[in-house]
Each structure stands twice: as C-alpha cells, then as structure tokens.
Amino acid sequence: MEIDRIDGRTPNQLRPLACSQNILNRAHGSASWSQGETKVLAAVYGPKAGTKKNENPEKACIEVIWKQKTGQIGKLEKEYEMILKRTLQSICILTINPNTTTSVIVQVVNDDGALLPCAINASCAALVDAGIALKHLAVAVCCCLAETGYVILDPTKLEEQVKGEPMEHGIITSVTHGAMPVDDYLHCLERGRSASEKMSAFLRRSLQPKLPSDLSKAA
C-alpha cells in the first residue's frame, strides 16, 4: 500500500535535519532547527531574577514568546506559546532556581509544515545551549493521517493542507487537529515513537559542545 508523496519520500522518511547552536551573540543560549524547508530560531535568556505576578515564586518560571514570520499576533500564536510553555515546563527542573524567569523566544523563519515540532526541537536545543538544567531532552515529530488512512511522518505544508489532520506527538505532549479513530491515533503514536528515536540520536550528535582540546594534552 505505497503512497506517493509529492517530494518522493517514503511514508516513514523524515526530511533532512539541520541544527546549529550558539548562533546569536547576545542571547544566553540559541539554536536554529530546520526540517527540510521549515526553519525555526529559538533564543533563551535567563535565568533572571523575579517572576511574573500570577506565577508561583517557589518555582522557576518559563516564559515563551512566539514570533511568526508575517502578520499580526493571533490566537494560533498564543496557543503555540501555551503548548510550548507546558512542554518546556515538564522538561526543565523548576525547583533549582526558585523565583527566576527564563524567557524563550521562538522566531519562525520559514513555515513548510511541522512547525510546532520544529519549534519544540529548536527550544530544547537552545535550552541545552544556555545551560538550563533539564530532566531529559525532548524531541517532537509530526504525523499526518492521509485520507486513505495511511500514516505519514513529517508532512510538508502542502501535505498538511491536502490530507488534513496533522498531529504532533511527543511522549510529553500530544496535539491533535481534527477527528480520527482511536486505532489510527495509536498507530500514529507508534510511528512517531520510532521516528523520535532517530531525531534523538541526531539531537545528541548536534549537541557536541565545542570544547577546547585539553591543555594538558597539548602541552
């Protein structure tokens, strides 16, 4: 039951991934993550003293600002901010620096499908670059349910619109748009999990810190 995807990928194939860290001069941590044509830039500032008014001062607070490429800020951007905030709150260790705020600013450079997973991956890489204490890393993958009931991974924008019902999945967060039968949802989860392993391995490799070679060895 092979499906022809527009760009010639197999249903389980992800687009080429690229990640670079420490690209912004002034941000305390920054990363850019691209999956095919979709590219997102994330910058982390903090931890800085003080929390917002409604936040618990016994925990660190994470603030997410989503900046899209063009247009006014609307409900969709606020929803992305909320999802990203909840996801990042579950991976950061919030009890280490109470009464501080860490700001994550996400800038969409190009949107070609799978935008939210790309943003989650970029934010996680930026948090690692900034040295924020994390319980574990997070990767995100987008699964799309085609009309024929077949699951494809990492859809482009064209595929998202035509086939409808994109769904991101992380072990932490799962966001679904549209309706689908339960079996298909579990099917998507399985595919997503195996793809997450590949992305995890990629994230680890790209997090190699650029350490200067040991002075003791050089001398």
Partner 1 sequence: MENKSLSFVDQLAVSGDVVLNLSTMANQTIKLGGGLRQDCDAISVMKAGKLRFSKPNKYWVESSQKRYVPHAEDSVLGIVVDTKTDNFLIDIKGPALAFLPVLAFEGGTRRNIPKFEAGTLLYARVVKANPGMNPELSCTDASGKAAEYGPLKDGYSFECTTGLSRMLLSSLTCPVLDALGKKLSFEIAVGLNGRVWVNGASPSTVIIVANAIMNSESLSGVQQRIMVEKLLQKIQ
Is the CB of residue 12 less than 8 Å from the CB of residue 153? yes
Nearer to partner 1, 132 or 188 (CB): 132
Report the greatest alpha carbon distance in the chain.
65
- Shortest distance in whole angstroms from residue 65 CB to partner 1: 19
Residues that bind partner 1 (CB under 8 A): 28-29, 46-49, 93, 96-100, 128, 130-137, 204, 207-213, 215-216, 218-219
Nearer to partner 1, 30 or 32 (CB): 30
- Shortest distance in whole angstroms from residue 99 CB to partner 1: 8
Angle formed at CA 46 by CA 73 and CA 118, multiple of 5 degrees? 50
Nearer to partner 1, 15 or 28 (CB): 28
- Shortest distance in whole angstroms from residue 213 CB to partner 1: 4
Nearer to partner 1, 8 or 209 (CB): 209
- Shortest distance in whole angstroms from residue 141 CB to partner 1: 18
H or E stretch covering 17: strand 17-21
Nearer to partner 1, 50 or 149 (CB): 50
CA dist 113 → 62, 106, 119, 149 (Å): 26, 16, 11, 19
Using CA atoms, how far apart are residues 140 and 171, in angstroms rounded to an integer?
A: 9
Q: What does the DSSP 8-state code read for residue 57? A: T
Q: What does the DSSP 8-state code read for residue 181? A: -
Q: Which residue has the tokens 């790209």?
A: 206
- Shortest distance in whole angstroms from residue 15 CB to partner 1: 23
